[in-house]
Amino acid sequence: MAETYPQRGFQVPPDATELLVVRHGSSAAAVPGEPFELLAGQADPPLAPEGEKQAEKLAATLAREPLSALFVTPLQRTAQTAAPLVERTGLEPVVVPELREIMLGEWEGGEFRIRVANGDPIAVRMFEEERWDVIPGAETMEAFSERVAAGLAKVAEATGPGNTGAAILHGGVIGEICHQVTLSRPFAFVQVDNTSITRLVRLADGRWLLRYFNETAHLR
pLDDT tens track, the chain, 220 positions: 899 999 999 999 999 999 999 999 999 999 999 999 999 999 999 999 999 999 999 999 999 999 999 999 999 999 999 999 999 999 999 999 999 999 999 999 999 999 999 999 999 999 999 999 999 999 999 999 999 999 999 999 999 999 999 999 999 999 999 999 999 999 999 999 999 999 999 999 999 999 999 999 999 9
Check: CB of residue 89 under 8 Å from CB of residue 66: no
Alpha helices in 90-120 (DSSP H): 111-117
Q: How far apart are CA 203 and CA 77, in angstroms?
A: 30
* Cβ(14)–Cβ(201) below 8 Å: no
CB 168 within 8 A of CB 71: yes
- The pLDDT value given to residue 1: 83
Nearest to 114 by CA among 46, 29, 28, 26: 29
Question: Where does the chain show beta strands of DSSP type E?
Answer: 17-23, 38-39, 42-43, 67-72, 94-95, 164-169, 197-202, 208-215
Angle between helices 76-89 and 49-62 (to 10 degrees): 40
What angle, rounded to 10 degrees, do the helices at 171-182 and 141-159 form? 80
Q: Give the residues across from 166 on adjacent strands.
A: 20, 70
Q: Provide the pLDDT for residue 60.
A: 98
Nearest to 72 by CA among 144, 138, 151: 151
As a whole number of angstroms, the distance between CA 86 and CA 32 comes to: 34
Q: How far apart are CA 94 and CA 97, in angstroms?
A: 10
